[in-house]
Amino acid sequence: MNVGSLLTLTPTINFAQRSRADAHVSWGPRTIPDWQFFYVIEGEAELLYNQKRQRIKSGECVLLGPDSPNHLSTITVALFYSVHFHWSHPSPVPVHPAYQIKASSAADLSKQAPIYHMDIPAYGTIALPPWFDVPKLEQLFLRIVNEYQLEQPGYAFVLRALLMELISVLMRHVLDQSLTRKVSKIESALQIMRIHPEQQWTVEQLASLCGYHPIHFTKLFKEEVGRTPKHYLISERMKRAKQMLLGELTLGDIAEQLNYTSIHYFSYQFKKETGLSPSEFRQQGSSLNN
């Protein structure tokens, strides 16, 4: 199941609380109508979900989706955050999910849960982790709960903004973890494209740097980065172009330094990658500096 693109999400928080529970308190078996973050501040909890038992220790968080039966319980006295939300909803106003939570049977817990994905432009489709440990999240959960409880003017929009920040922090963490695990196999190629994006690197040259056959290299590259070497090189070239556009060089000079034989083709690729023409990007940069 795909929850959408990171750039087009309009998330809504339905419920948020910071709470304490004694040992052996349980919620479920149940099926929730929306999504839930369950973050343990202190103590320890356990999740029975997707045919597995997962302990949730202090500083750890789980992500639960709809139509996926689960059973949450505390192992010790626990302090936690619970946040229910939708990835996208027309209105930012919270709608409490309590009346739509359904009881599930023990047999339902043995069912295979779906894998949820999100599209991240320039990085591909990323699997959402059901369990994670991201230190920056605790302060965001605190701000979300405070905003939810106070209900000050405009609070629904502030909640949406905070949830968007939280989702962004989480997805950056997922990407960082993915790159740390995988990128070593093609690091030489990635590094040379970052340092010299102006060069017309061929797949054969890049594969040779990593010690692979070009066909295997291309397959490995796409699996690990989510893009072809050509598209990754274009992306790095446009990053360099953005830096150069903030300076005094003309468009012709920038195109030439990036090895484009045509200003028109450079402008076409830049707009395709960024959504702005080089001139529009330069104007935005100038206005920010005024």
Domains of the chain (ranges, CATH numbers): 2-179 (2.60.120.280), 186-288 (1.10.10.60)
Q: Cβ atoms within 10 A of the Cβ of 116, count?
A: 19
Report the distance separating Cα 290 and Cα 286, nearest Å.
6
Please give the pLDDT value at position 181.
Answer: 55
Tell me if the pTM is above 0.85: no
Which positions of the chain have pLDDT values less than 70? 178-184, 285-290
Pairing status of strand 2-5 against strand 117-120: parallel
Q: What is the dihedral of CA 151, 154, 157, 163, to 10 degrees?
A: -40
Please give the pLDDT value at position 288.
Answer: 45
| Burial of 82: CB neighbours in 10 Å, binned 0-12, 13-18, 19+ | middle
CA nearest to 198, candidates 246, 254, 282: 254
Please give the pLDDT value at position 161.
Answer: 97
Please give the pLDDT value at position 289.
Answer: 46
Report the distance separating Cα 18 and Cα 145, nearest Å.
7
For the chain, the residue count is: 290
Report the distance separating Cα 102 and Cα 67, nearest Å.
10
Chain segment 103-128, per-residue pLDDT in tens = 998 888 887 878 889 998 877 888 89
Q: At how many degrees (to 10) do helices 214-225 and 187-195 cross? A: 80
